[in-house]
Structure 1
């Protein structure tokens, strides 16, 4: 009898779908708790050479509208070392979080990161292979 009652609660006469884990605009996103170590682990695989990064800076996660949905993102800026030992211009990336976990890095994050305060990120400058 209980499964029938639950099925009746989930269904409806208007044929709308139901999901406990929907990605709706109204679903609140949790603040990413371990974003720094999670980002460092990701960067070890993302960067060709994680050694010798300079001028690393990171923001605290902030809520921004991304494709019409509120998401937490952190802004990251750094200069990576090239294979010849030279350094590139600093890159600014937006790091997007979904359900409190790192979801992806947005290459051209300057628009999403406009006005976000960044602080030094020395852990990134100390990375090894």
Structure 2
């Protein structure tokens, strides 16, 4: 894990952010890794329970997969308390409809804004550290 990812994880965890559905979908490959993201998809997050679609062929491994996803996602978002895996014949990346995107942006504007502000602070701190090290 590179320094930037480590810093982002710590900052997000400290901020206790609850990710919006849009943020989860957009950052899924960063959260769980490219390989797992290619075969899974976040479906919903309600009261700390993240529901994830997985291939039907993985149905016997749901506990193992849920544990891995929880560990990966909760490193960024501790508000994710558990993961529930749902077997799907063909899980694929869902794209938000315009209505969902509009609803998502009106429901939780502070979540994405807070994350963006945190990332900007991190970038400023890293730049300051780099300038001091020169």
Indicate whether the TM-score tops 0.5: no
Larger radius of gyration: 1
- Report which of the two has the higher share of helix: 2
- Report which of the two has the higher share of strand: 1
TM-score, length basis structure 2 = 0.30
> Which has the bigger relative contact order, CA under 8 A and spacing at least 6?
2
